[in-house]
Amino acid sequence: MLLWNAKWIKTMVRLFTVVMICNFAVCTFAGCGGKEEGGEEKQEAQPTKEEESTPTPIPTSTPAPTEPAKEVRTDFYISSLDEEIPSMCEYWKDYFSIGIAITKGELLNDFKGELIVQQFNSMTCGNEMKPDALLDREATKSTGTETCPVLKFDSCDEMLAFCVDNNIKMRGHTLIWHSQTPDWFFMEGYSNKPDAVFASREVMLERMENYIRLVMEYVNTTYPGVVYAWDVVNEAIAPGDGGENGMRMSDSLWYQTIGPDFVEKAFEYARKYAAPEQKLFYNDFNTYETAKRIAILELVNKIKDQGNIDGIGMQSHIGMNSPTLLDYEETIRKFGETGLEIQITELDINLDSNSEEDFMKEGTRYKRLFFTFKNLVDTGAANITNITVWGLTDEGSWLNKDGKRYPLLFNQVLETKPAFWGVLMDEGIPLY
């Protein structure tokens, strides 16, 4: 308790520092903060894919007799504003890119933006590239046609430009999704009246093709080379919901207007308009549930046979104890067997306690996850190409509706948590 109070006081002092920096801009990063006590970090050598995987790939904490003793980190709360911290994307660069999902407001904050550039080489727009952000109903009603909507890109322009300026690649999230797509898009005349009727399958197929074409054309001509992967379809599988082959039906207006082949059609159109180097992904949550995993595998294998898919996105919004890492790893292995790329697209751990002990356990879970990813890559079991965390700070997480969730790698004043050091496989974080 005493420790936590001290931590809290330290945190408040930092928060005050941040506010002072924002308001008066009188000092530089280096000049503003004192050095954190203790915890001088000796980073492990960065892994390379070529390294032979041994039964104990985590570097041993026992130094060779001639080496000076290593100091094992004991302070995990380091202010990224005050001190240089190791870069996660640099550490994992021979394995996979490290991504961040972020909202525009957070990204354009100087301090967060700087930290993002240092830590991540892949970005996902939290909301700014979803259909409800891009579809312009007014313009669609006035200058669109029944089969071709009008889009606007002011929501994501600055984020794409940020990526260009800072050499960060983007995952395009998401083209076709039952959620965050306005109902009027599925209606005759784009009506938003209560008595609106569904547009026909033929009209919806044309709207879908035009939507995908317009997004890809804009992004690829205005910011060429930035988007490297598209989540073409998100969350179409929901076994038990009544759709064919385990598909989501009850709340999917895509399913209800086009029918179960809407996913295949989306991938067909996406392939038609994507730049040749862009990878096309099917993305979903709870992929480790057996029935869901089977349905996803059937779906992606069919689309793979059509030549229109490159990867599977496992969102990975997980808990502290569930799924078990065994089930989770098993799913990656099964997906890996398809030969498709695997990306962990939305990783967070729904921790609902801020005790020191639980923060350490969270660090351990992150470390074990990355240990698993590394092992799967080393052994060739899965071609994992990106790990994305769904948010920068606990405070900004989508999970944090009650203000009591701690799922991510940084706290609200941009201090590292044990979870951050777990991602870096730090020796101070226990593996079990």
Indicate the residue whose CB is closest to ligand 9MR. Answer: 398
- Give the distance, in angstroms, between the CA of residue 168 and the centroid of all CA atoms in the same chain: 14
Helix (H, G, I), strand (E, B) or coil at 360: helix
Nearer to ligand 9MR, 182 or 259 (CB): 182
CA distance 299 to 85: 42
Out of 119, 257, 315, 416, point to the residue binding ligand 9MR (CB under 6 A): 315
Q: What HEC string does 381-405 produce?
A: CCEEEEEEECCCECCCCCCHHHCCC
Q: What gap in Å lies between CA 287 and CA 314, rounded to an integer?
A: 6
Indicate whether 398 belongs to the interface with ligand 9MR (CB under 6 A).
yes
In the complex, least distance from residue 153 CB atom to ligand 9MR, rounded to whole angstroms: 18
x/- mask, ligand 9MR, residues 257-286, rule CB under 6 A, reads ----------------------------x-
Contacts of 401-405 with CB under 8 Å at 24 or more apart are 404/352, 404/354, 405/350, 405/351, 405/352
Residues 6+ apart with CB under 8 A from 54: none
Q: How far is the CB of 124 from ligand 9MR (least distance, A)?
A: 8
Sequence-distant (≥ 6) Cβ neighbours of residue 222 within 8 angstroms: 153, 157, 160
Among 48, 145, 179, 200, binds ligand 9MR (CB under 6 A): 179
Site for ligand 9MR in 212-251 (CB under 6 A): 234
Could you tell me the smallest distance in angstroms from the CB atom of residue 177 to ligand 9MR?
A: 7
Place of tokens 């995908």: 212
CA distances from residue 5 to 1, 10, 11, 12, 411 in whole angstroms, order as listed: 6, 9, 10, 10, 16
Single out the catalytic residue among 235, 268, 329, 427: 235
The residue (of 234 and 257) whose beta carbon lies closer to ligand 9MR is 234
Residues within window 98-157 making contact with ligand 9MR, judged by CB under 6 A: 126-127
Site size toward ligand 9MR (CB under 6 A) is 9
Token readout for 354 is: 């801020």
**Is position 346 annotated as part of the catalytic site?**
yes
By rule CB under 6 A, what string of x and - marks binding of each residue 28-57 to ligand 9MR? ------------------------------
Whole-number Å distance between alpha carbons of 231 and 70: 43
Residue ranges in 319-348 that form contacts with ligand 9MR under rule CB under 6 A: 346
Query: Looking at beta carbons only, is 48 or 180 nearer to ligand 9MR?
Result: 180
Enter the DSSP assignment of 122: E
Q: Where along the sequence are the contacts to ligand 9MR (CB under 6 A)?
A: 126-127, 179-180, 234, 285, 315, 346, 398
Q: What residues act catalytically?
A: 235, 346
